[in-house]
Amino acid sequence: MVIKGILDAEDARDAVRFGADGIVVSNHGGRQLDGVPSSARALPAIADAVKGDLKILVDSGIRTGLDVVRMLALGADCTLLGRAFIYALAVDGQAGVSNLLELIEKEMRVAMVLTGAKSISEINADLLVREL
């Protein structure tokens, strides 16, 4: 069972207690309630609370390979590409989706080279720029 719409560390802990296999940190694209935190803002506290207890997926606003790297650095185990996937599929079917995935991979590789990460497992919060 995977529970979507988690934006709070305590809700993530509840998901662990309920026996969920994973959670999706998601604000549903901000369409449900104006002013809710972004997935990226909510993710670090959630990862601190439950990382390793279940799989942490994230969506909302992931459009590039750099976005994927950022979310992994913030504590996600993986990301979802819903809207980008749907657009690529609508434009060019399977070829569009294949092209999207190739672009995401290339962008991830560039971001990893520029941050010094040699593998996905080396992507962590140390790669992120902190607010000045």
**Helix (H), strand (E) counts: the chain:** 4, 4
For Cα atoms 67, 69, 70, give the angle at the middle one, nearest 5 degrees.
65
Q: Does the annotation count 8 as an active-site position?
A: no
Please identify which of the residues 28, 51, 63, 83 carries the catalytic annotation.
28
In angstroms, rounded to a whole number, what is the distance separating the alpha carbons of residues 124 and 97?
A: 27
In angstroms, rounded to a whole number, what is the distance separating the alpha carbons of residues 88 and 59?
A: 17
Residues acting as catalytic residues: 28
